[in-house]
Structure 1
Amino acid sequence: MDWLYAFAILISSIMVLMGLGLPVAFAFFATNIMGLFLFFGGSRGVTQMISNFSEAVTTYSLAPLPMFLVMGSLFFRSGLGERVIQAIDLAIGNLRGRLSYVTLGAGSIFAALSGSSMANAGMMGSLMAPEMLKRGYKPHMAYGPILGAGSLAVIIPPSTLGVLLGSLAEIDVGALLIAGVIPGIVLVLMYSGLIWVQTSIDPEAAPQYETPKVSGWQKLGTIAANILPMGFLIFCVVGTIIMGIATPTESAGLGCMGVVALLIVYRKFNLRVVWQSLDDAMKVTGMTFLIITASTTFSQVFAFSGASNGFITAILSLDVGPYGILAMMILVVLILGMFMDQVSMMLITIPLFMPLAKQFGFDPVWFGLMLLLAYEVGFTTPPFGMLLFVVLGVAPRETTLRTMAMAAAPYVGLTIVLIALVAAVPQLALWLPSMMGR
Structure 2
Amino acid sequence: MEWWEAAGLLVGGILVLMALGLPVAFAFLGINIVGVVVFMGGMAGVDQLVDNASGALTTFTLVPVPLFMIMGELFFHTGLAMRVFDALDKCLGAVPGRLSYMTVGGGTLFATLSGSSMANTAMLGSLMVPEMTRRGYKKHMIMGPILSTGGLAMIIPPSTLAVLLGSLARLDVGALLIAGLVPGIILAAFYIAVIRIQIARDPDAAPGYAAERASAGEMARALLVNVAPMGLVVFAVIGLILLGWATPTESAAFGVLAVVILAGLYRCLTLEAIVKALTGSLAVTAMMFMIILGSSTFSQVLAFSGATSGLLGFAMGFDVSPYMMLLAMLLILIVLGMFMDQLSMMMLTLPVFIPLVGSLGFDPIWFGVIMLLALELSLATPPFGMLLFVMMGVGPPGTTLGEVARAAAPYIACTFILIALLTAFPGIALFLPRLAGG
Same fold, judged at TM 0.5 (above): yes
The match for 1:170 is 170
The match for 2:29 is 29
Greater Cα offset, 19-28 or 275-284? 275-284
Q: Read off the aligned partner of 2:126 and give its amino acid letter.
A: S
Q: Does 1:187 align with 2:187?
A: yes
Greater Cα offset, 255-264 or 273-282? 273-282
Kindly state the Cα deviation for residue 58 of structure 1 after the two structures are TM-superposed: 2.2
The match for 2:13 is 13
Write the distance in 1 (CA, Å) between the matches of 2:148 and 2:287. 26
Deviations 1:77-106 (A, max 9, x none): 112111111111111111111000000111
Q: Which ranges in structure 2 are unaligned for 5 or more consecutive residues?
A: none
Q: Read off the aligned partner of 1:238 and give its amino acid letter.
A: I
Write the distance in 2 (CA, Å) between the matches of 1:397 and 1:60. 44
The match for 2:436 is 436
The match for 2:367 is 367
TM-score normalised per structure 2: 0.98
The match for 1:263 is 263
Deviations 1:272-319 (A, max 9, x none): 322332232223323322322332311111011111110000000001
Kindly state the Cα deviation for residue 348 of structure 1 after the two structures are TM-superposed: 0.5
Greater Cα offset, 229-238 or 326-335? 229-238
Kindly state the Cα deviation for residue 151 of structure 1 after the two structures are TM-superposed: 0.4
* Secondary structure of the structure 2 residue equivalent to 1:94: coil
Q: Does 1:381 align with 2:375?
A: no
The match for 1:343 is 343
The match for 1:96 is 96
Kindly state the Cα deviation for residue 346 of structure 1 after the two structures are TM-superposed: 0.8
Greater Cα offset, 17-26 or 199-208? 17-26
Deviations 1:133-160 (A, max 9, x none): 2111111111100011100000000000
Correspondence 1:191-270 to 2 at 5 A: 191-270=191-270
- Distance change in 2, residues 1:288/1:398 (3 Å): closer
TM-score normalised per structure 1: 0.98
Correspondence 1:15-414 to 2 at 5 A: 15-414=15-414
Kindly state the Cα deviation for residue 271 of structure 1 after the two structures are TM-superposed: 2.2
Kindly state the Cα deviation for residue 40 of structure 1 after the two structures are TM-superposed: 1.3
- Distance change in 2, residues 1:141/1:396 (3 Å): closer
Write the distance in 1 (CA, Å) between the matches of 2:226 and 2:28. 45
Write the distance in 2 (CA, Å) between the matches of 1:271 and 1:40. 51
Kindly state the Cα deviation for residue 252 of structure 1 after the two structures are TM-superposed: 0.6
Greater Cα offset, 277-286 or 131-140? 277-286
Q: Read off the aligned partner of 1:334 and give its amino acid letter.
A: I
* Secondary structure of the structure 1 residue equivalent to 2:297: helix
Kindly state the Cα deviation for residue 170 of structure 1 after the two structures are TM-superposed: 0.4
Deviations 1:102-123 (A, max 9, x none): 0011100110011000000001
Write the distance in 2 (CA, Å) between the matches of 1:155 and 1:358. 22
Percent identity (aligned):
53
Greater Cα offset, 32-41 or 276-285? 276-285
Greater Cα offset, 74-83 or 310-319? 74-83
Kindly state the Cα deviation for residue 244 of structure 1 after the two structures are TM-superposed: 1.4
Moved runs in structure 1, 4+ residues, more than 4 A? none
Aligned residues of 2:129 and 2:396 also touching (Cα < 8 A): no
Aligned residues of 1:52 and 1:293 also touching (Cα < 8 A): no
Deviations 1:47-69 (A, max 9, x none): 00111133212222212111111
Write the distance in 2 (CA, Å) between the matches of 1:289 and 1:338. 23
Task: Give the number of equivalent residue pairs.
Answer: 438
Write the distance in 1 (CA, Å) between the matches of 2:107 and 2:396. 21
Aligned residues of 2:133 and 2:396 also touching (Cα < 8 A): no
